Amino acid sequence: GQNIDQPTEMTATEGAIVQINCTYQTSGFNGLFWYQQHAGEAPTFLSYNVLDGLEEKGRFSSFLSRSKGYSYLLLKELQMKDSASYLCAVRVYSGGYNKLIFGAGTRLAVHP
């Protein structure tokens, strides 16, 4: 079956660095996405990894290891507005098309 695991909740301090992990067991892996979702709002795209390694985009970085079925999202210089849920989603290719499978999300609370 297809399975994605990420921690349910995390807390961090403003200005600090936090790493949100995601492990997956899927077949037909074809990329991994990270989305940010504030309460009551739609998920917004943060990053995409399809090859192993680190993708950096401002304060946010995402890492992928396909052999380990592992990814993490790194948030630096945390701000209060970073308090949100972070969704890990794996794209799998099967039957001629892509399908996106989401993890349950990690709720991050940033404290002053």
Partner 1 sequence: KAGVTQTPRYLIKTRGQQVTLSCSPISGHRSVSWYQQTPGQGLQFLFEYFSETQRNKGNFPGRFSGRQFSNSRSEMNVSTLELGDSALYLCASSLESRSGGNTIYFGEGSWLTVV
Which residue of 21, 23, 30, 83 would you call a contact of partner 1, by CB under 8 A?
30
Site string for partner 1, 40-59 (x = CB under 8 A): -xxxxx--x-x---------
Task: Check residue 102 for interaction with partner 1 (CB under 8 A).
Answer: yes
11 versus 45: smaller Cβ distance to partner 1? 45
Task: Check residue 7 for interaction with partner 1 (CB under 8 A).
Answer: no
Helices (H) and strands (E) in the chain, counts: 0, 11
**Per-residue tokens: 84:** 């949100």
Angstrom distance (rounded) from CA 103 to CA 72: 13
Burial of 57 (0-12, 13-18, 19+ CB in 10 A): exposed
32 versus 78: smaller Cβ distance to partner 1? 32
Task: Check residue 66 for interaction with partner 1 (CB under 8 A).
Answer: no
